[in-house]
Each structure stands twice: as structure tokens, then as C-alpha cells.
Amino acid sequence: MRLVLFQPEVPPNTGNVARLCAATNTPLHLIEPLGFSISDKQLKRAGLDYWPFVDVTVHPHWEAFEAAMACAGPTRMVLTSARAGTPVHEFAFRPGDAIVLGQETRGLPDFLHDRYPDRVRIPIQCQGVRSLNLSTAAGILLFEALRQTNGLAG
């Protein structure tokens, strides 16, 4: 399993996702441009002292990430959306999936939705809530994916 943040904007969200990745031994891929410096104080604070345990790769753009994944072997891109896609509890994750989360303010761009058909969403019961926080969503999606693929050892 891999978590991919496409052009993240909020340092504490990325720090919390990095901490999640450290705890689950899940590679984290960040697609530039980032809305902060990788040495940002808030980013480091949110990730606490777990950064040495995070397998993080920063890619200068989406195409560089795609090229890296092509070299790593078959990888299914699973796009996330607040409104479209299969509910997370009904989606069939597979080992090696790359769960792709979009920007906090805009989500994922149309070119990705045009390119990749696999989409997952987290059902939201209250119509007044537009979406979940990025790091909360990442945790829900990753743990369901790991549960389904027997990746929750220990």
C-alpha cells in the first residue's frame, strides 16, 4: 500500500499523514508543488519525532511519480473523492494500491479523474459537512485498505 498526497497545502495535515505512514510502515509520496516547505516547523511538529521512520519520496510533478511507480511494478491508482466513487466499506482494495488524496481546498484535478477510473469515497451522513480533514480521511482509507489486504500485522 502507498499513500499519495497530490500538492498538499496544509503542513499539519501532511505531518499527521506522515505519522500515520510511520505507524503503519506505509510509503508516503508527496507530489509538488507543496503548499509549504518540507522543513516547515508546523510539518515537523505534526509529525513529531517520527520523520526518521517515514519512507517519504517527494516528486516534482505527477509524471515523475507515475514514472517511479512504473519502475516499481504494477500499481493501481485509487483516487479519493468527497462525493464520487465506491464507498470505502464496499471498495475492494488490493496489495500495492496507491491511495491518492487531493489538495485540501480543491481535491484532485480533472486530468487524474480522466486517467484513472478507480475511485473511493468515505460516506458522510450530514449533508452540511462537505468533506473530512485530509489526515482523517487518509487514516480511514489506509486502515480499511490494510484490513482488507491483511496488512495489519502486530
pLDDT digits (tens, 9 = 90+) for 38-66: 776 766 666 567 888 999 999 999 999 99
Residue 28 placed within a domain: yes
Residue 115 placed within a domain: yes
- The answer, as to whether pTM is greater than 0.85, is yes
Task: Identify whether 95 is preceded by a cis peptide bond (ω within 30 of 0).
Answer: no
Give the integer Cα–Cα distance in Å for 38 and 66.
21
Residue 9 placed within a domain: yes
Q: How many domains does the chain have?
A: 1
List of residues 6+ apart from 87 with CB closer than 8 A: 120, 121, 122, 123
Residue 132 has pLDDT above 70, yes or no: yes
Task: Output the pLDDT for position 43.
Answer: 64
Residue 153 placed within a domain: no
- With cell 473523492, the residue in question is 81
Residue 154 placed within a domain: no
- With cell 485530509, the residue in question is 134
| Residue-range definition of the domain harbouring residue 44 | 2-148
Q: What is the CATH number of the domain that holds 39?
A: 3.40.1280.10
Contact assessment for residue 148 and residue 142, using Cβ atoms and an 8 Å cutoff = no
Residue 123 has pLDDT above 90, yes or no: yes
Alpha-carbon Rg for the chain in angstroms: 15
Which residues lie across from 57 on neighbouring strands?
29
